[in-house]
Amino acid sequence: MGPGPPTDGDSSSREPAIRAYSTNETSNYHQIKFITMAIRAALLLVRATPLQFSFNPKQALVLKQNNRNYAVKSSLEPPDVQRLAETARISLAPHEVEEFAPKIQQVIDWFGQLQAVDLQNVAPAIRADNEEETLRDDSPEIFENRDAILAAVPCYEDSYIKVPKVLNKE
């Protein structure tokens, strides 16, 4: 099987595994929830850019030109917090939804300011310019402090990382 999209399991069973990678401490959990949501919301913006979603190179060319029209677009959709939470595999209590909505709106508005930049005379770029070539030779090196990485894994047994079962159930 490809490395691609996960097989569908129920999201609730997956979440603890994800949490394990993020943090152990519940005090940080709330904060991380918000950050994740904000990132997701920001991604929603990116997603709104058709250029990123086109598989068809011809279409992409056309859309690149459309890119310049973004300057014209002024207001942005308010976030659907429930949906965001779903895609982030995070369960939110109703009061959290209420609490997060304006904050995420704020983040979106920051990005919204970028939409106001006039790009009429700027050639589209696929990536921000980078200073110099940053590549690496194919020579292996073992990372010394692997034990520390594994020590941070919440559940590690018999050389494996243990996670809640993620088999598909039909």
Distance CA 131, CA 25 (A): 38
Q: Give the amino acid at 114.
A: L
Binding to other proteins, residues 76-135 (CB under 8 A): 87, 89, 126-127, 130, 133-135
Cβ-contact 42, 68 below 8 angstroms = no
Of 18, 71, 76, 97, the one binding other proteins (CB under 8 A) is 18
62 touching other proteins, by CB under 8 A: no
Cα–Cα distance, 128 to 126 (Å, whole number):
7
Which sign, positive or negative, has the C-alpha torsion 160, 153, 140, 133?
positive
Residue 103 or 154: the one with the smaller Cβ distance to other proteins is 154
Nearest distance, CB of residue 12 and other proteins, angstroms: 12
Closest CA to 78 of 97, 94, 59, 96: 97
Residue 166 is a binding residue for other proteins (CB under 8 A): yes
- Footprint on this chain of other proteins (rule: CB under 8 A): 1-8, 11, 14, 17-18, 21, 40, 43-44, 46-47, 51-55, 57, 60, 87, 89, 126-127, 130, 133-143, 146, 149-150, 155-156, 158-168, 170
